[in-house]
Chain A
């Protein structure tokens, strides 16, 4: 069964996808479905002995281009609709043991280019109003496959969390004539205490209003709405600052740091969103090396987050683990590891 059911109390859609109960759950490394299919080996999802980056339709989608009719009849109180959309898996590397943080910045740069292509292609489909690119990393987040990968959902509507952000941005623009995120970036740069890293095109910070102890936002310093608005230099700069942040996460507690990484871009429903501003948000679940920040009664039942830490202190802590990014081509050319994009903030 796969359908969208209306939640009348919250005014939002809920996807039911009962077939997802059958999806592969933490298989041994020898039977990873995201590894290359080796000659003589078991067939994985990817019929190739190696690859660079691969995107495919999820075998267990919660949304699909040609969904079945809802299994239940809707009512005026409980509307239902087919679960139309797209669910893609994006495999970052053939290396099962890697993580995005351990991959060279060149591979992250390739990923940014693939993200851009997927945003353009999925966003052009008439039944997709919002392209949501994200990664769940680590068992603490609930991943079912360890092989480094992310996901892309093409929603047939603007999802509620993004819709609320759009409304806030629109209201701020109507009131002040300015972009809300541009103002936030300006405030963070002026204060400086919560900045974690920066380069010519992006700034990474734990915002004043952080809900998680190590919640980092990466925002473009230029006012743009989506990956497709970026120049090639900006794509490279984005890869560099992502590399810096997720590598700093790993150094923080000397573990492979779990996180959710989400890209917030303009909707693809054909309307104008010039007031909106591209950014990436990280929601790491850890508050210490061994303790999780649970979304408990207040967060889940009331929607009010309680952060046990100060963004200023956590930003300083994380900033201490940020290192310069080294591009291999420059290393080869210069003979020394001098990164050029996004060195540690001075």
Chain B
């Protein structure tokens, strides 16, 4: 299990949990985040932490 924590524009934290068995089949949350950030009117979120648990 891997977790990646970001800070939302209003200061709240959000954690993406990803798992090895799906990592090869699905886009990494970080990649998806970059793709989704452009059309969304929210300010860019900022990565804070990425670690294996």
Contacts and interface: CB of A to CB of B under 8 A. Distances in A.
Interface of A: 36-41, 43, 45-57, 59, 106, 110, 113-114, 117
A48 B42 CA distance: 12
B44 to A, nearest CB: 9
Nearest to A50: B32
A47 B15 contact: no
B17 A49 contact: no
B interface, size bucket: 20 to 34
Contact of B19 (A37, A55, A110): A110
Interface in B9-47: 10, 12-19, 21-22, 26-27, 29, 32-33, 35-42, 45
A50 B25 CA distance: 12
Nearest to A44: B40
Given A56-B12, A59-B12, A47 B17 contact: no
A64 to B, nearest CB: 10
B14 A56 contact: yes
A52 B35 contact: no
A189 to B, nearest CB: 33
B36 A56 contact: no
Given A57-B12, A117-B1, A52 B42 contact: no
A55 B14 contact: yes
B32 to A, nearest CB: 4
Nearest to A61: B12
Contacts of A106: 21
A49 B8 contact: no
A43 B15 contact: no
Nearest to A57: B12
A37 B36 contact: yes
A47 B53 contact: no
Contacts of A54: 14-17
22 contacts: A41-B39, A43-B40, A45-B14, A46-B14, A47-B14, A47-B45, A48-B33, A48-B36, A49-B36, A50-B29, A50-B32, A51-B16, A51-B29, A52-B16, A52-B18, A52-B29, A53-B17, A54-B16, A54-B17, A57-B13, A59-B12, A117-B17
A59 B39 CA distance: 22
Contacts of A49: 27, 32, 35-36
Nearest to B53: A117
Contacts of B42: 43, 47
A48 B17 contact: no
Contacts of A37: 36, 40
Contacts of A48: 16, 29, 32-33, 36
A47 B40 contact: yes
Contacts of A45: 8, 14
